[in-house]
Amino acid sequence: MIRLYHIVKSYGDRDALRDVSLHVEKGEMIYVTGPSGAGKSTMLKLLYGAERPTSGKMLIGGADVSKMDNRQLPSLRRNMGVVFQDFKLLPHRTVGENVAMALEVIGAPTDSIRRRVPAVLNIVGLRGREEDKAGVLSGGEKQRVAIARAIVNDPAILLADEPTGNLDGAMAVEVMEILQAINLRGTTVVIATHDVGLMDRFPYRRLRFVDGKLVVGGIQPRSKA
Amino acid sequence: MNGALGRALRGLREHAYLAAVSAGVIAAALVLLGVYGLVVLNLEAVVSGWQQDVHVSAYFVATATAEETAAARSELAGRPEVLKVELVTAEQAAAWMKERMPEVEPMLAELGPTALPASLEITLKDGYTSPAAMDAFAASLQASGRFGEIDYGREWVERASGFLRTLKLLGAVLGTILVLAALFLVGNTIHLVVYARRDELEILRLVGATDGYILAPFVVEGALEGLVASAFALVILEVVHRGVLSRLHDAVPVTFDEGGLQFLPAGPLVALVLVGVMIGVLASWVAVQRFLARLA
Ligand SMILES: Nc1ncnc2c1ncn2[C@@H]1O[C@H](COP(=O)(O)OP(=O)(O)O)[C@@H](O)[C@H]1O
Ligand SMILES: [Mg+2]
């Protein structure tokens, strides 16, 4: 599903990622981990197209996205959900409106939006909360709304950058359980986190970065074998 | 349209104040353009009235007899460049003078019936009203020896239409600057709107909205602001027009044609509305595009 070959990402003379090669298979759930500043967020930004690699090759679902231009972003993102530590919800709009945005932009018909939104809120355990303003929810609930918005289009890939970073223990576990459930339905899930306790509790393959280098879990590309 | 109108209306509700500022700036620019248009239009009407009115006044020498003036009249009427010749006898001239300036009557009476010379009022055909042609025509009259003074206001009319041309050019330059300034101000106002809604735009991008989808409601908003602004500006222009008109009538009996001071005709009015809509649309477009270009 995701293939990276010798990916380098530099900001000026600073290398955020150095020669990263990795594979993530369809339906896999993996962690991108490492200390702060290791390049986890940069890794995810490359995957959802917020940044382009400085060099190297990157395939997502078979398509080469290493040199994609911004006009191709919408089609990439319609097949990918993204979740952040700070949720990125519109606090003055309702839970339902926040989730529906992801369907409206793809021109989904109103009746399908009316069907899909409650269904996906049910998956994240927020059934019946459509009319609540997003701003009044607890952190855990906000993150679940964000996840609902990310998966309402049935994307092939779900990316989560420190999804539990702002949540206390119980809420973090809830969110992880939801991500796990989504993965079980076949979605490829990539989670950036440095929370070792959580990774131990939900054990999946770890890609460990240190200072922009992938030190554990990468592949030895054929060219170097 | 991806519900662009609905999203535009929601946007207008959510930042009504900034939308009103944008519309106000556009309306102010349109009023200035419109007032300028009104001034030029009416000056043009006056000057073109003068231009049609170009005629030569040829005053006979005092010794000219009625036969001579009549002969001169019919001779001139036969010349190809002459459209119309009217004879103003000394008596008619004196009567006209008495009517216009009653205070000079005693003086005229003292000087006798021939105080004012008889004259021919000659209107030239269209092709013969250039300064050179009129000079030549006047010279030929002078050469006949029948006339004393020969008057023609050509130079003055030329100067007035020259002034009008300068005014129009100046208006084009100032109008362009005005429209650019309005674009800039409205663009900055819309930039504030975009900034206030940056989270929403960022989320839209994240969930796969195309630039077109994000732009559409802003463009519709800009168009609506332009429309409201134009309507507002037209009302103000009409009020200004009426106010100036009534005041002008009180002050001076200027020789505006039957219609009096003209209001802008349909063409320029439509253009004004289009300029308003164009400012709103273009400013929105540029402000949002600039924001999107920086957004990942
Ligand atoms: N936009 C940027 N400009 C400059 N440097 C950046 C930028 N984004 C990230 N970096 C740098 O790249 C490195 C990796 O950052 P990041 O991917 O955010 O790390 P992590 O998410 O693992 O904490 C850091 O040294 C960071 O300072
Ligand atoms: Mg990070």
DSSP string, B129-162: -SHHHHHHHHHHHHHTS-EEEEEETHHHHHHHHH
Q: Is the CB of A36 under 6 A from ligand 1?
A: yes
Q: Ligand 2: distance of its center to the CA of A189 in Å?
A: 17
Query: Which residue, among A20, A15, A12, A16, has the nearest Cα to A217 in the 3D structure?
Result: A20
Q: CA A122, A127, A129, A131 torsion: positive or negative?
A: positive
A82, B203 Cβ separation under 8 angstroms: no
Residue B211 has pLDDT above 60, yes or no: yes
Closest ligand 1 atom, CA of A38? 22
Query: Which residue, among B81, B132, B139, B89, has the nearest Cα to B114 in the 3D structure?
Result: B89
Residue A22 has pLDDT above 90, yes or no: yes
User: Would you identify the CATH topology of the domain A29-52+74-203?
Assistant: Rossmann fold (3.40.50)
The string of pLDDT tens digits covering residues B65-82 is 888 888 888 888 888 888
Q: Which two tokens stand for residue B171?
A: 């208006």
Q: Ligand 1: distance of its center to the CA of A185 in Å?
A: 32
Task: List residues bridging with A4 in a β-sheet.
Answer: A22, A58
The string of pLDDT tens digits covering residues A95-148 is 999 999 999 999 999 999 999 999 999 999 999 999 999 999 999 999 999 999
**Mean pLDDT computed over B143-154:** 79
User: What's chain B's average pLDDT?
Assistant: 83
Q: Is the CB of A99 under 6 A from ligand 1?
A: no
Picking from A65-74, A151-160, B130-139, B287-296, which range would have the lowest pLDDT averaged per residue?
Answer: B130-139
Residue B40 has pLDDT above 90, yes or no: no
Task: List residues bridging with A94 in a β-sheet.
Answer: A133
User: Would you identify the CATH topology of the domain B55-152?
Assistant: Alpha-Beta Plaits (3.30.70)
Query: What's the pLDDT at B258?
Result: 47
Q: Which two tokens stand for residue B28?
A: 């102010």
Atom 18 of ligand 1, residue of closest alpha carbon: A41
B38, B263 Cβ separation under 8 angstroms: yes
Reported confidence tier of residue A224, pLDDT bands at 50, 70, 90: very low
| Contact criterion met (CB < 8 Å) for A88 and B213 | no
Question: How far is the C-alpha of B289 from the C-alpha of B191, rounded, in Å?
Answer: 10
Q: Please state the domain extents for chain A.
A: 29-52+74-203
**Mean pLDDT computed over B173-188:** 88
Q: Is the CB of A35 under 6 A from ligand 1?
A: no
Query: What's the pLDDT at B51?
Result: 65
Question: How far is the C-alpha of B30 from the C-alpha of B280, rounded, in Å?
Answer: 12
> Looking at beta carbons, which residues of chain B come within 8 Å of A90?
199-200, 203
Range(s) of chain B covered by CATH 3.30.70.3040: 55-152
Asked if the ipTM is above 0.90, the reply is yes
**Mean pLDDT computed over A152-162:** 96
